[in-house]
Amino acid sequence: MPVLFAHLMQTGFGGFYDGIAHLFITPTDLLLVVGLGLLAGQQGPAGGRRLLALLPSTWWMGGAMGQILAFDWSLAWLSTMLVTLVGVLVATALRLPSMVFAVGVSLSGLLFGLVNGFTMPSETGGVSLDLFGVVAAIAVVAVLISAQVAATRRSELQIAVRVVGSWIAAAGLLALGLLARV
Amino acid sequence: MNERAPIQRVVVLCGLLTVWLMLLAPGGQAHVEGGGAGSVVAGFLHPVTGIDHVVAMVAVGLWGAVLGPPAIWLLPVAFPMVMALGGLLGLLAVPLPGVETGIALSALVLGVLVMFQTRLPLVLTFLLVGLFALFHGFAHGVELPEGADALLFSLSFVVATGLLHLVGIALGEVRRWAWGPSVLKLAGAVIAAVGVWSLTQVGGA
């Protein structure tokens, strides 16, 4: 089985809740959103605003494209590399140029949305509520994390954020190794 | 005294946790014999299944606490990434000689450094700990099982390692008290002793 496993969970409450649950049971997606939330918070309030504006919308676009194309691709390598890169950026606490950050977030959203979209039509009949649930969950998680990080002034918490980034990067690296070995 | 009471409780708890982890870890060399990659629990328990790994991770945190800023945060940030790099090399079957010796030496050297509360230049500190991280990561990488949720396994494995660092850092806080240096000396001596024992195991293998 691939490292990235974006299967839609059936909660029994309908597509919207399936989509919400999907984010929380898909480690690659969740790690990316958490990582981007941390990175956005490190960029300050403007970073958080950019993340909230760009990530859900591009994820939605990518998802819609994926549902139409419906390829059987997991893009596991690309997704895992992206998660690793985000982890490294958080660990190094780099202040990125706003354009670079915006483009990075948009590409991430498009890619991960695309992969989500690939898996959704076959299992749910292509109901867009699923995608809406995913995007809503992403928006909430992204805004909660980025706002908290942006608001924090305590150096210990800023270090903790970098440590979490290093954990994400390390997990991504190991997952890449496991992908290479399979 | 009242302000310090909660910190003291945390330190005592960390001490008990370390002892428990040391008792939990089998006497053999570090790293699991098997375990399911499909389980977060398997990943979380992976780093605590070898006493040499446990004491080395705690020693990294202890030494970081002894060194103070910026090493106290540089080491926990850098170590997981370098360790994962080692794991990647192991997974890709890139040859790395003397891995088990390096792991045993890490406990011995770090134990001695903690015991004498040695301060090295930051670059040297980073290189030394980075080298040890490479050995530990490589050994784990070779033995990482395949499975469905490799990323979850890897993440819980990394988090467990990070928590061991945190235990070391918290234990290192005893240096603030008058009796702290003696406790650190004792902790360093125990870690170094485990390192010596591991070296004899490597030699006997």
Q: What's the confidence (pLDDT) of residue A116?
A: 87
Q: Give the A:B interface size as CB pairs under 8 Å.
A: 102
Kindly state whether residue A5 falls inside one of the protein's structural domains: no
pLDDT in the model for residue B31: 46
For residue B35, name the pLDDT band (cuts at 50, 70, 90).
very low
Per-residue pLDDT band for A5 (boundaries 50, 70, 90) equals very low
Burial of A77: CB neighbours in 10 Å, binned 0-12, 13-18, 19+: middle
Output the pTM of the full model. Answer: 0.80
**Residue B114: burial class (beta carbons within 10 Å; 0-12, 13-18, 19+):** buried
Of the candidates B103, B82, B86, B104, the residue with the CA atom closest to the CA atom of residue B95: B86
Task: Please indicate, yes or no, if residue A1 is contained in any of the structural domains.
Answer: no
CA distance B156 to B65: 24
Q: Å from A181 to nearest chain B CA? A: 6
pLDDT in tens, B128-141: 999 999 998 898 88
CB atoms within 10 A of CB A80: 28
Q: What is the pLDDT of residue A165?
A: 94
* Lowest model confidence (mean pLDDT) among A31-45, A153-167, B44-58, B103-117: B44-58
Contact A178 B91 (CB under 8 A): yes
- Exposure string for A47-65, b = 16+ CB within 10 A, e = fewer: bbbbbbebbbbbbbbbbbe
A171: closest CA of chain B, how far (Å): 5
In the predicted model, is pLDDT for residue A12 greater than 90?
no
* Tokens coding A109: 């959203």
What's the whole-number mean pLDDT along residues B45-54?
80
Cβ of A175 within 8 Å of Cβ of B146? The answer is: no
pLDDT at A161 over 70: yes
| Residue A137 resides in a domain | yes
* pLDDT higher than threshold 60 for residue B148: no
Better pLDDT: A121 or B110: B110
Provide the pLDDT confidence category of residue B33 given band limits of 50, 70 and 90.
very low
Which residues constitute the domain of residue A137?
A: 11-181
ipTM of the complex: 0.76
Average pLDDT, chain B: 79
Residue A37 has a pLDDT of 96
Note the pLDDT of residue A121. Answer: 57
How many folded domains does chain A comprise? 1
Position A84 in a domain: yes
Average pLDDT over residues B26-31: 45
> Residue A80 pLDDT more than 70?
yes
pLDDT at residue B52 tops 90: no
Q: Which distant-in-sequence residues (6+ apart) come within 8 Å of B68 by Cβ? A: none
Which range, of A29-38, A76-85, A153-162, B22-31, averages the lowest pLDDT?
A: B22-31
* Percent of chain B whose pLDDT exceeds 70: 77
CB contact under 8 A, B88 and A174: yes
Q: Nearest CB to A178: which of B80, B146, B162? A: B146
Residue A108 CB partners (closer than 8 Å, separation 6+)? A32, A36, A55, A58, A82, A86
Residue A4: inside a domain: no
Q: Is residue A2 part of a domain?
A: no
CA B195 to each of CA B101, B128, B202: distance values in angstroms, whole numbers, following the listed order: 10, 16, 10
Residue A110 lies in a domain: yes
In a domain, A122, yes or no: yes
Q: What is the mean pLDDT of residues A3-21?
A: 68
Residues of B in contact with A163 (CB under 8 A): 73, 76-77, 80, 162
